[in-house]
Amino acid sequence: MQQLIKEGVGIRGISRLLNVSKTTVLKKILKIASKVVKPPIPQNITIEIDELKTYTQSKTNERWVVAAYCRETKKVIDYKLGRRTTKTLQCIIDTLLYANPKKIYSDRLNIYPKLIPKHLHSTKRRETNHIERKFLDLRTHIKRLGRKSINKAQRDKYTNAILRIYFWGISLTENKESKSLSYLN
């Protein structure tokens, strides 16, 4: 099922392909996500941080995925789903500051200078290209995050579970090593 999620197959699509109900798929996604372990954040790294706008239930209910990308490991090391507020950003920034980063690159959102120490923070042009590229891939693979999509997440917990699987679940290359393909792990 992780492979189907990472390949951009929606909930109803997974339901049809595996011949199980939509409710079963949602329960299984939550179960898989609960088993996914967030990797530890490395020390002394260069970080890019950015936000991605999405919706829950309707276009009036905005949600933001704030993610931190490590340039050295080329992976998302932390994320937070919520409103675009100081509180949401503070959660992720505090976690990153414990990792003693070399530098934190961000866009010019006016909240960042208040949260990130000046000697660590930079807003130079093109310094967030990697995280922006990751967000484009994310929008491509997960339909509910698309800008013009009619697909909307019904609940934050499902979006959060899918993001957790996408960022830290088993990668597709790891799965190729095992010859058997089990969709309902």
From first to last of the 185 residues of the chain, give the pLDDT tens digit.
Answer: 888 888 878 888 889 999 999 999 999 999 999 999 999 999 999 999 999 988 777 777 788 999 999 999 999 999 999 988 899 999 999 999 999 999 999 998 899 999 999 999 999 888 899 999 998 888 887 866 755 554 455 678 888 898 999 898 865 444 444 433 344 44
Q: Is 55 helix (H, G, I), strand (E, B) or coil?
A: strand
At 46, give phi and psi (nearest 5°). Answer: -100, 130
Q: 63 forms bridges with which residues in the sheet? A: 54
Report the distance separating Cα 12 and Cα 140, nearest Å: 17
- pLDDT at position 103: 95
pLDDT in tens, 127-138: 899 999 998 888
How do residues 4-44 score in pLDDT, each as one tens digit?
888 878 888 889 999 999 999 999 999 999 999 999 999 99
Q: How many CA atoms lie within 13 A of 83 on its CB side?
A: 5
Q: What is the pLDDT of residue 96?
A: 94
Q: What is the pLDDT of residue 120?
A: 95
pLDDT at 180: 39
Asked if residues 128 and 50 have their Cβ atoms less than 8 Å apart, the reply is: yes
Q: For position 67, what pLDDT does the model report?
A: 94
Strand pairing category for 75-82 and 58-70: antiparallel
State the Cα–Cα distance between residues 111 and 113, nearest whole angstrom: 6
Domains observed in the chain = 2-36+169-177 (no CATH), 46-145 (3.30.420.10)
